[in-house]
Structure 1
Amino acid sequence: MKKLFTLITILLAFAQAFAQQQFGSVSGTVTTRDGSPAVYVSVGVKDHSNGNMTNDKGQFRIGRLRPGTYTLVVSAINLGKQEKEIVIKAGENSTENFVLDINNAQLQEVEIKEKNNKIKIDNPSQSLRLNEPVLEAAQNIQIVSNTAIRDQQIISMSDGLIRNVSGAVRLEHWGDLYTNITMRGSQIQAFRNGFNVVNSYWGPLTEDMSFVDHIEFVKGPAGFMVSNGDPAGLYNVVTKKPTGQTKGEFSLTGGSFGLYRATLDLDGKLSKDGKFLYRLNVAGQKKGTHREFEENNRFSIAPVVSYQFDDNTKLTFEYTYQNARMSDVGSYYVFGSEYAKYPVGFTQYQPGLPLTNINDHSAFLKLDHKLSDKWTFSAEASYFNYQQKGSSLWPSSVRGDTVVRSVGIWDAKSEMTMARGTLTGDITTGAVRHRILGGIDVGTKKYFADWGQSHALDTEADPFISTDPNYGTPSNGYPVWDRTLGLEARAINAGGTQDQQYAGFYAQDELGFLENMIRLTIAGRYTYVKQSSFGGDPISSKKVTPRLGLSVSVDKQTSFYGLYDQAFTPQAAARLINGGSVKPITGNNIEFGIKRDWFGGQWNTTFAIYQITKNNEATATANSTPANPQSMLLGQRRAKGIEFDLRGEILPGLTLTANYALTDSKVTSVGDVTDGSVKVGDVVPGYSKHTINGWLNYKLQSGPLKGSGISAGFTGLLDRATDTWSPSTVRLPDYFKIDAGLFWEGSKMRISGNVFNVANKYLYSGSYYSWLNAYYWQTEAPRNYRLSVSYRF
């Protein structure tokens, strides 16, 4: 490895020296008439393929130009072009600066307008700390834009969002309570604004889309970017921030099963000089489901304020509160002797049970400070507080069509405090560009849960009969919970405690050669973790994980990349069947890919092939129950596959999101703690071998019906392995769903209506549960409708 790295370094240095003699370059700065940097403005060479975008300082650089005379062109959205003639000499850099005849506020306004109507996003959020376009990153990153969320009428993280990303599936849906996305054969970590918000297997509470700007899916390990993460990847929810523009939007949505929803988005200035900004998002929702007696009522409020002290320093504070009043966890499931035995709207839920009440608070504080034109420092802190008072419905016995339903208390509290400091630099030494990233992140996470009390609703002599359901007073009455003790004491008695502390240090240098056409990433992270669960003694682990990536741009629109990365991930609480404790997951990812922007960056394709190895992973046994969770060690598993994503505007008014993934995950060695049900070569449940998605949106660009449009999409899951470990040989059938809609959009108003599950198919997920010797499944809604009206002001 050392010799190979030395050889690569020598070859790159030789190629760089040769290129210096053959090519020249041009660089400069683009500003607006008020002296502000013009950010992400296009700079190109007329009748030539070379070009670039200005960075966040308004700077640009275009290399690999042969000696001669060229015309440099600068253009911004909805603005006229500026041109200058330049002379390029071999081995020399020319300097040309531009001033746009527009002020910064006006430029931001047209940029924001364009961004709000784009399916394709070129640059990741600051919370990923990449400091480079997605096209140049040596990793597969897919971004679901706010436009896609709006067009598909997605109202929460668990509401059809994953159709926009290759290979993403959900299992154990938990209704709209938790999202739980799997990708590349494993459940990926949930992040918000760059912080890992997972504090137990079940969390976090799904984010309401009212305060979400976009969602970034990072495939493969990303500990160098955003703290601890799974080797399979993560999703990062990026919330809405102030834009500096005074604007607002009000929206009403109604739909099937008693859906009533209203949202308000306000954006503006709190001071005349524009230094003090705010953003406020409010949402309220009342919603039932296709199953009787269920409710999913939500309220959220998300204020954000920012203050720009001077040109170099900015402080942002953000608070989000979500309240959910939902039916008993477990109400979404049906148990029986075979899959899909009962009607799609059938329920074994018991009306009269108190709704589960959740209060979810989160706060972020971020300080950004520009140390110089080359260096930037940011300090961030976050606090999360989740409180749940409710219960979980789960049967204690299933015999054919008769069920004894049982309810267990589930009161819980999650508290997390996390912080990080990051230093980024963009410097040049000789002919080599360095994008430098370094920093530290620390966190403390605590989870308490009382699941130690249970009550059977029915008796063996008088059970619930699924073929002749009686939703009157249950034969054994309703539960009465003892909440005399505080939650923490009850959690200790029930063994429902989890605690984790971590600290990480990371450093990365991306070296750019040949005018940044070749980018070599060298990075490393040190992580220390101390954790305990189920009342056991705390255990600690530490590890250094390296990262090596190479990205090569063939031209300004095409790049090839290769990546080797390692991961070190604390596991959610698991109780091993031998009484031992689980260790953090270690693993690695090897990946190669091709990225290409088409037709001037209007749309993009990404193709990736990968192999992920995970060690020490714990998984639930077939006999695990909510009241008595049991886990075993797989030992080692290997996931491999291919992914293809396409998104963007194919033709004027015609946008397309399409993707395909082939996934395969199997056990490669068995751990020393097992119930004997696992052997080498077994499929590791948690994925669909083939996933294929598409969403097409077309809007008329002219004529009397200008602004009208049609949309349609589908999701296919073939050869599903999204169940859990079980001895059953019955597999889930293939899944195929079609959605479609109509819309009209004017300068101020948008009206949209969608039909979901157009074919009215019986769609479900589930698994065999050996502890009950029964199947359970959760149906999705039959054909249903939504209508939204929004007004911008």
Structure 2
Amino acid sequence: MMKHLHYCLILVLTIVSQLAYAQNTGTITGKILLVDGQPYAAASVTLIENKKGTLTDEKGIYHFYNVAPGNYHLKVQVLGAPEHIMDVTVAAGQTVTSDYQLPKENVQALQEVNIAANTNKFSKKESRYVARLPLKNLENPQVYNSVSKELMQEQVAIDLGSISKNVPGAGVPMIANQGRVTFRSRGFETEPNARNGVAGAAFSTIDPVNLERIEAIKGPSTTLFGTSISSSYGGLYNRVTKKPYNDFGGEVSFSTGSWNLNRLTVDVNTPVNTDKTALFRLNAATTHQKTFQDLGFTNNLTIAPSFSYQVTDRLSILLDVEFSQEKGTSVVRFNPFTGNTKNVSVANMGFPYNRTFLSNDLTYSTQMMNIFAQANYKISDEWTSQTIISRARSTINGYITALAGRTDSTIRPQVIVGNTNFIATDVQQNFVGDFKIGQFRNRMVVGLDFYNNFNDFDRVSVNAPDINFLNPSTSYRISRFKIDSLASRGGTPRKEKNRDNTYSAYVSDVFNLTDNLLAMASIRVDRYQYLGVYNVNTGQTAGGLGANGISVGPYKQTSISHKMGLVYEVSKDQLSLFGNYMSGFFNRSGQSADGSAFKPEHANQLEFGAKSDLFDHRLSATVSYYDIKVKDILRDDPNETLNGYSIQDGTQLSRGVEVDVTANPFTGFNIVAGYAYNYSKYTNADPSVDGLRPGLSGPDQMINFWMSYRLPEGNLHGFGAGFGGNYGSKSFHTNTQTTKITIPAYTIFDATLFYDNPKYRVSFKVNNLTNEKTWSVRLTPQAPAQFIGSVALKF
């Protein structure tokens, strides 16, 4: 009994002493605001005398508790802005408030702007990655589209293909084996290979659970991003991941729907230390779903932790990891027979829409881990150092399948069995400056980049017996037993390792000629070293295979690319006119008849248009015209057809118009819409395709739209509905002078109902309301009507 009384006495004395201490100390609080009055999250605030620091929360608010009475100095540090010192006086038992709004000329913080709820919540255009500079969208001469997590959430988008519906010109996503997804951009195939602005390729399914937004950066972009992530001359997709914030919160959600969909996601954020300078966030998801076809499934798990630490008021560190593993069956990939002269639509070929022809035991398993580490150090008020290390690894085991047409009525399943590894390392050092020369403002990035790529193949390719897909026999289905038996007897082996290194240096400067007129100039030099192929069976290092399948030895290539642009803001921060001329390149291997070396393939883009951000962010739009010319394309040497040599004189043209609009006509009503027209053709190529639109380039016209209304007040505040759709004109799988295999035009509509309040969210979605049949450019049948229900609990 006495022991318990003793503990109670100690507890009472502790509480009393704490209360007494609190009455003899004070509190400092305040809010850090952006230039437009919006709160700035993650600003560093330091109490100099006590050597204590903290970060502002998502509302821009900071706190210092239990501060002894006296005079103090607060230091506010924001990247790209001069430090600011505030004087405060603390009195016992009192709270002193000290706010600060960033001056107009400092725009680095605008990259974190949060649009207020009563304006267009989908209009979040500002990006620190597109130009690698503190540059607003209206100041950037390059076009890019942004899909925010708010739009993904409203549309119940659970995969990258659903997200890309909001990008003008993206088209029907092409799902390759292992869930790898590609899109169209200005007539070229484009992959989501960038992550937070650096290389982050994944040869597997990429779950969107940790995405803050997707940025579709348009046009050849190797000047700032290099070839490691610039997947095409049409542009690149950058995955911006969720970052930790200075508060505790998160949500847990569960989704279910058609074809046994079961999906669980978790998002938890918490400060790690009492000063809230160390922050941790965990996003995770697991999804299981069968396909709409007779067989097929996927089962995956993604874990994505993120940790940030404000080490000092000048130094911050971010560690961001993506880990996923998946087991599933390959999607149908149909390569029709092209041996006869024909002009036919895939819809009329008789190929079954709902059959896979393969068994559920022909599975692949993938494991992907991407690690991203970044250190930012504020050298001075004008210069910041940014050091980045990115490591991407994808491993594939099992069976990769395709269906190759043998005649107009038969197919031959082709299966790759074995193991494949892709490992890439990117080390990057940037120095970012924002300074004046006289009265002229300069924003500059100077960077060095090292990229190493390593690929490892240990697999064998086999052909299964032909199948009549119009009238298959009762034993047509290809099983794992059949494939293993064929693989044990031979097949075509691939047992090799190959690697390459790229060393790069670049500089980009944005120079304000006046407050409304600015010019951009950028240049990049790349030194590419292809190190050859190590054959595991022979133990020898030799060349890889060139464009025509002949051996090509190790080689080196040097490339120079540029980017120039002009922007004139007709109305400051509301309307700008822009133009750009920029280039891109890719290293190509091959062998010429005279033994001369080939140079990298190049493309140049000329583009101009207008950008707007009007009526307090209620109308944001971009309209542009582009003209892309690709030259130095390798093609078969017409004079050396028997020897397999190449010549480098091929050219290709791609030009078009793009429109991107987000609008909030009145409170609660939002619109996202886009239009893309693309004219592409080979202008100097093999006679079989010369003058024709390239196959796999997608529709020449595409439309996307989404509109939704959410009740802004009343008893049903938070209840809403959305409706949208996508249209694509007829396109080509194969387009030659003798054979044209077309994909029909499509119109797909989606709809959703939702109720969203601060504690929970309930959503119901229907994709493809009208059961439209459509195919990707690789002739993969797309899903019919799909129902998804989702419940999320917030905390």
Shift in alpha-carbon separation, 1:396–1:219, aligned structure 2, 3 A: closer
User: What is aligned with 1:636?
Assistant: 651
- Distance verdict in 2 for CA 1:546–1:232, change over 3 Å: same
Q: Offset of 1:589 from its aligned partner?
A: 1.0
Deviation, 1:408, is: 2.8
The match for 1:540 among 553, 556, 578 is 556
Alpha-carbon separation, structure 2, partners of 1:225 and 1:40: 27
Measure the CA separation in 1 of the matches of 2:298 and 2:636.
28
Offset at residue 38 of structure 1 (A): 2.7
The match for 2:424 is 416
Structure 2 vs 1, CA of residues 257 and 395 (structure 1 numbering), >3 Å: closer, same or farther? same
Which residue does 2:757 correspond to in 1?
746
- 2:373 counterpart residue number: 365
Correspondence 1:688-767 to 2 at 5 A: 688-721=699-732, 723=734, 727-766=738-777
1:222 paired residue number? 221
Would you say the 8 A contact 2:293–2:356 is kept in 1?
no
Q: Is the 8 A contact 2:120 2:617 kept in 1?
A: no
What does residue 791 of structure 2 align with? Answer: 789
Counterpart residue number, 1:290: 292
What is the number of residues matched between the two proteins? 684
Q: How does 1:94-493 map to 2 (within 5 A)?
A: 114=116, 118-126=121-129, 128-157=131-160, 159-170=161-172, 172-174=174-176, 177-189=179-191, 190-198=193-201, 204-228=203-227, 229=230, 230-327=232-329, 329-331=330-332, 333=334, 339-340=346-347, 341-342=349-350, 345-395=353-403, 398-456=406-464, 458=465, 463-468=467-472, 470=474, 474=478, 478-480=482-484
The amino acid that maps onto 1:376 is T
1:547 counterpart letter in structure 2:
K
Q: 1:525 & 1:492 partners in 2: Cα distance?
A: 40
Query: Which residue type is aligned with residue 378 of structure 1?
Result: Q
Query: How many Å apart are 1:122 and its aligned residue?
Result: 3.3
CA distance in 2, matches of 1:710, 1:150: 13
Q: Secondary structure at the match of 1:387?
A: strand
Matched, 1:591 2:607: yes
**Which residue of 567, 575, 582 maps to 1:551?**
567
Aligned with 1:709: secondary structure? Answer: strand
Equivalent residue number for residue 679 of structure 1: 690
One-letter amino acid of the counterpart of residue 130, structure 1: L
Match of 1:362, SS? strand
Q: Which AA in structure 1 matches 2:383?
A: W
Query: What is the deviation of 1:372?
Result: 1.1
Q: Distance in 2 between matches of 1:545 and 1:491?
A: 43
Shift of 1:400: 4.3
- Is contact 1:666–1:684 with CA below 8 Å preserved after alignment? no
SS of equivalent to 2:151: helix
- The within-5 A match list for 1:631-670 is 635-670=650-685
Q: Post-superposition shift, 1:637?
A: 0.6
Any conservation in 2 of the 1:246–1:269 contact (CA below 8 Å)? yes
TM-score after normalising by structure 2: 0.78
Residues 565-605 of structure 1: per-residue CA shift (max 9 Å, x gap): 1222235x889999999753211111101001121123301
**How far 1:56 sits from its partner (Å)?**
9.6
Contact 2:450–2:502 under 8 Å retained in 1: yes
Sort the Cα spacing of 1:252 and 1:54 in 2 relative to 1 into closer, same or farther, 3 A.
Answer: closer
CA distance, structure 2, for counterparts of residue 145 and residue 211 of structure 1: 12
- Equivalent residues in 2 for 1:593-632, closer than 5 Å: 593-617=609-633
Give SS of 2:152's match: helix
CA deviations 1:502-548 (Å, max 9, x no partner) are 1111112211132x211111221111112254463122111222222
Contact 1:611–1:640 at 8 Å: present in 2 too? Answer: yes
Distance in 1 separating the partners of 2:645 and 2:262: 40
Q: Aligned to 2:771, what secondary structure does the other structure show? A: coil
Aligned to 2:93: none
Is the 8 Å Cα contact of residues 753 and 763 (structure 2) preserved in structure 1? yes
Q: In structure 2, what is the equivalent of residue 83 of structure 1?
A: none
1:505 corresponds in structure 2 to: 505
Alpha-carbon distance between aligned partners in 1 of 2:626 and 2:373, rounded to the nearest angstrom: 36
3-state DSSP class of the match of 1:687? Answer: coil
Give the aligned residue type for 1:508.
S
Residues 68-121 of structure 1, C-alpha deviations (whole Å, 9 max, x = no match): xxxxxxxx9899xxxxxxxxxxxxxxx99999957799x99x976958992111
Question: Is the contact made by 1:219 and 1:232 (CA closer than 8 Å) also made in structure 2?
Answer: yes
Evaluate the alpha carbon distance shift between residue 791 and residue 104 of structure 1 in structure 2; reply closer, same or farther with a 3 A threshold. Answer: farther
Offset of residue 42 of structure 1: 1.0
Stretch moving more, 345-354 or 731-740: 345-354
User: 1:308 and 1:414 mapped to 2: Cα distance?
Assistant: 33
The alignment-based identity, stated in percent, is 22
Does the 8 A contact of 1:526 with 1:543 survive in 2? yes
Seen in structure 2, the aligned counterparts of structure 1 residues 707 and 334 have a Cα distance that, compared at 3 Å, is farther
Q: What one-letter code is carried by the residue in structure 1 that aligns with 2:424?
A: M
Partner residue in 2 for 1:521: 520
Alpha-carbon distance between aligned partners in 2 of 1:529 and 1:585, rounded to the nearest angstrom: 13
Task: Point out the structure with max Rg over C-alpha.
Answer: 2
Q: 2:246 touches 2:279 (CA, 8 Å); kept in 1?
A: yes
1:660 to 1:613, Cα distance in 2 relative to 1, 3 A = same
CA 506–179 in structure 1, closer or farther in 2 if over 3 Å, else same = same
- What one-letter code is carried by the residue in structure 1 that aligns with 2:775? Y
Q: Distance in 2 between matches of 1:667 and 1:334?
A: 22
Alignment partner of 1:38 is 2:49: no
Letter in 2 for 1:718: S
Tell me by how many angstroms 1:657 deviates.
0.7
Q: Per the alignment, do residues 475 and 408 of structure 1 end up closer, same or farther by CA in structure 2, a change over 3 Å counting?
A: closer
Structure 1 distance, partners of 2:319, 2:223, is 24
Are the counterparts in 2 of residues 416 and 444 from structure 1 also a CA contact under 8 Å? yes
Work out whether residues 462 and 486 of structure 2, in 8 Å CA contact, stay in contact via their aligned partners in 1. no
TM-score (structure 1 length as normaliser): 0.78
The CA distance in 2 between the partners of 1:792 and 1:579, in whole Å, is: 65
Cα distance between partner residues in 2 of 1:596 and 1:113:
16
Q: Is the 8 A contact 1:559 1:596 kept in 2?
A: yes
- Ranges in structure 2 where 5+ consecutive residues have no aligned partner: 1-26, 45-57, 62-83, 89-95, 102-108, 338-343, 533-543, 546-550, 638-643
In structure 2, distance between residues paired with 1:651 and 1:619: 55
Secondary structure, aligned partner of 1:129 = coil
Distance 1:692 1:754, change over 3 A: same
| SS at 2:164 equivalent | helix
Contact 1:662–1:691 at 8 Å: present in 2 too? Answer: yes
Superposed CA deviations along residues 486-512 of structure 1, whole A, max 9, x for unmatched, are: xxxx99962765422111111122111
Distance 1:468 1:249 in 2: 49
**Cα distance in 2 between the residues matched to 1:506 and 1:118:** 35
Is the alpha carbon distance of 1:760 and 1:483 closer, same or farther for their aligned partners in structure 2, counting shifts above 3 Å? closer
